[in-house]
Amino acid sequence: MLDSLAEAGIAPERTILLGFSQGACLSLEFAARNARRYGGIAALSGGLIGPNTIVRDYPGSLSGTPAILGCSDKDPHIPRERVDLSADVLQRMGATVTKRIYPQMGHTVNDDEIELVNAMMKALVSA
């Protein structure tokens, strides 16, 4: 996908990797395994894939990349610990992480997350 965007003249620095649930997991894994400066990463109710025992020492840097991670404190599919671990990994890789844990939200997207993503998009468009 990024190759197709590059052919159209859109650099990765102007691209936001965004997903909800499994899409969030895939967005995070892609960003971690293909580290570089992106326009942003937004992972809503998701986390890096695999057991917590996996060493998360990805090569490369996400320096300059803003990242949003949002999830419920009691998501039936994504344990809070997975979100915390994912945020820590992105921070170690140089991303600027905004993590929000919402009480009793369940496995969904809320208005605050939509506002955060909208602000990320507006900042990218105006840059």
With a CB cutoff of 8 Å and minimum separation 6, the contacts of 73 are 80, 101, 102, 103, 104, 105
Active site residue 21: yes
Active site residue 107: yes
The residue from 21, 61, 84, 88 that is catalytic is 21
Cα dihedral 29, 35, 36, 37 sign: positive
Cα→Cα distances 84→4, 9, 69, 72, 76, Å: 32, 35, 9, 12, 16
The residue from 4, 107, 112, 126 that is catalytic is 107
The residue from 27, 45, 72, 75 that is catalytic is 75
**Enzyme catalytic residues:** 21, 75, 107
